[in-house]
Amino acid sequence: MTSFLRYPQIWIWDLKDPSTPYTPGGRSTRLDEITSLSWNSVAQQILASASSTGYTVVWDLRGKREVVALTYSGTSGPMQTSRRGQSAVAWHPDNVRCRLHPIP
């Protein structure tokens, strides 16, 4: 089971021993308000977390570390550089690819 608060802290509980939650790694400097979490169905040790900052961080639970941080700017022209937050993150059902959904 996984839970998150509005600030960048993720907690994971093993339902066989729920007394001791753990985190996927240190706090990411790219995340602020976490808006969504998604487990990868192919690689079960992989978790993605989306944020209002425009970043999505992919975590490796075996290594207890941030693997990659993806960003979505939501821009359509060369002069627009602001990032848009992510409202949801979802994995492709057949592989390790991730899909991002911007906050409207």
Residue 29's pLDDT band (boundaries 50, 70, 90)? Answer: confident
82 within 8 A of 93, measured Cβ to Cβ = no
66 within 8 A of 47, measured Cβ to Cβ = no
Instruction: Tell me the Ramachandran region of residue 25: left when phi exceeds 0, alpha when psi lies from -120 to 50, beta otherwise.
Output: left
What is the per-residue pLDDT across 37-90, written as a single tens digit (0 to 9) for each?
888 888 888 898 888 888 888 999 999 998 888 887 665 545 445 556 777 888
33 within 8 A of 49, measured Cβ to Cβ = no
| pTM of the complete model | 0.74
* Average pLDDT of the segment spanning 11-29: 84
For the chain, the domain total comes to 1
Model pLDDT, residue 55: 85
Q: Which is more confidently placed, 3 or 93?
A: 93
Which stretch, 10-14, 29-33, 95-99, has highest mean pLDDT? 10-14
Domain that holds residue 88: 2-102
Q: Which run of H or E residues covers position 87?
A: strand 86-91
Of the candidates 56, 54, 52, which has an alpha carbon nearest to the alpha carbon of residue 91?
Answer: 56
Q: Which is more confidently placed, 35 or 27?
A: 35
